[in-house]
Amino acid sequence: MSQQAKSRAAALPIVAGTIGNVIEWYDFAVYAYFAPTIGALFFPSDVPNRSLLLSFGVFGVGFFMRPLGGFFFGHHGDRRGRRNALAATIILMGVSTFLIGILPPYGRIGILAPIALLLLRMAQGFSAGGEWAGVAAFLVEYARPDRRGLTGSWQQVSVGAGFLLGSAVATVLTSTMAPATLLGWGWRLPFLFGLVIAVVGLYLRLGLEDTPRFRAIEETGQIARAPIAEAFSAHRRGLLTVVGFTVSGTVGYYVFLAYFPTYVSVVLGLPMREASLINTIGLVVFIALIPLVGALSDRVGRKPLLLAHAAGCAILGYPLFLMMEATRSFGVILAAQLAGIALEALFSGPAPAAYAEIFPTRIRYTAISVPYNLAVAAFGGTAPFIATYLVATTGNHLSFTYYLVAAGVVSFLVYLTLAETYRAELR
């Protein structure tokens, strides 16, 4: 096989594995960016901030379906294979995203509109519960032993790519459409486009074999009969570690990416197009940094980078947003976000490989999915709502940063207890 053919063969699992994450986080980004519009259409209210709070509330409720999705798809992925489970998640995500794009607003169908929106967000959350951990296991199990950090990091690159795509679409729409046009139908376009990505992703995933690690245990009859029961009986400490491991990374992600455009436009008062542009620039930098940090974790280990991430969130969380609040200038806000994104890259680079290295192949999908999604539901998906609520109720535009600081402290303590695994053989 030629070198070019080998490179193509190595790249195909990465593309097939990550494209589902792109559509998942593209949709979440689009929802977050258009949260004020969605709030006005589906939760109309004369009370200040109520529509936005309800919009972010529905955003957060979808995350509480993630643990259920983690149970369901984790079990299926450990019993029947990673590929089949990931094919199912992308179908559900694509259809749910498309249906949001054609959903009539409150003004046309009344209370059915917010109810339907809630149900579709729950379906998306259920799908997302099987996607993140499944892709992490899929990529790391395909990786060379000395490149697990780099290969696994593409999982997080795809998360950033989804957010970037959503940010870019939001920037184009907000820059070229009048506010009345966006409110009328323009906001629907990015949701409709999500179905196209899902169809391409499904085709790629079904055309690929399952991971070598999973096929090996399948051929030797080592498939777990009850992966959920085995994970909770034999790997309880690992499950708890994943929860604490995730807290800082997920809070930082939703503060610096999902909530950030709303904070800049609604709280700081910059035009939405400038908020979207800042986020788009930040995401380009984020995507570029992640594989570099992932590769670095293959050389120096996962633990030092994770500790630097958590310490940075704890120490810099408040000062970064204080700078933005004090100046409210485009350049300072961009610089502050880039600093936050660099901190998040220190988590996102090594995290997929570090998660996968905690558990054996026979229960890896389930053992990552369940605690990871519980942590994201409790701390990550609620972050935009909590941030909006704290700002609205306290009148202090920086009150939400205490949440970010506390998350950094918690995860820092957990990272101290981690065993270094970057040179250990994948079980």
Residue 258 lies in a domain: yes
Determine the structural domain holding residue 58 and report its residue range.
Answer: 3-417
CA distances to 1, 58, 162, 353, 397 from 28, rounded to whole Å, are 40, 12, 8, 24, 24
Residue 332 lies in a domain: yes
Closest by alpha carbon to 384, among 131, 96, 38? Answer: 38
Residue 426 lies in a domain: no
Concatenated DSSP letters of 217-263: HHHTT---SSHHHHHHHH-HHHHHHHHHHHHHHHHHHIIIIISHHHI
Q: What pLDDT, on a 0 to 100 scale, did the predictor assign at position 47?
A: 60
Q: CA gyration radius for the chain?
A: 21
3-state secondary structure of 114: helix
Q: What is the rounded CA–CA span in Å between residue 374 and residue 385?
A: 17
Q: What is the rounded CA–CA span in Å between residue 288 and residue 284?
A: 6
Residue 423 lies in a domain: no
Residue 300 lies in a domain: yes
3-state secondary structure of 185: coil
- Report residue 159 CA to chain centroid gap: 6
Residue 424 lies in a domain: no
DSSP 209: P
Output the domain CATH number for residue 379: 1.20.1250.20
Residue 371 lies in a domain: yes
Residue 336 lies in a domain: yes
Query: pLDDT tens digits for the chain (427 residues)?
Result: 555 555 565 677 777 777 777 877 787 778 777 777 887 788 776 665 677 777 777 777 777 788 888 889 988 888 888 888 888 888 888 888 889 888 888 888 888 988 888 898 888 888 888 888 888 888 888 888 888 999 999 988 888 788 778 777 877 887 788 777 777 788 888 888 777 877 877 777 777 777 788 888 888 888 888 888 888 888 889 899 999 999 999 888 878 877 777 778 877 788 877 887 887 788 889 899 999 999 999 999 999 999 999 999 999 988 888 888 788 888 888 898 899 999 999 999 999 999 999 999 889 999 998 898 888 877 876 676 777 777 777 777 777 788 888 899 999 999 999 888 888 888 7
Q: What pLDDT, on a 0 to 100 scale, did the predictor assign at position 10?
A: 63
| Entry pTM | 0.81
Instruction: Provide the domain count of the chain.
Output: 1
CA distances to 177, 244, 264, 345 from 257, rounded to whole Å, are 23, 21, 11, 12
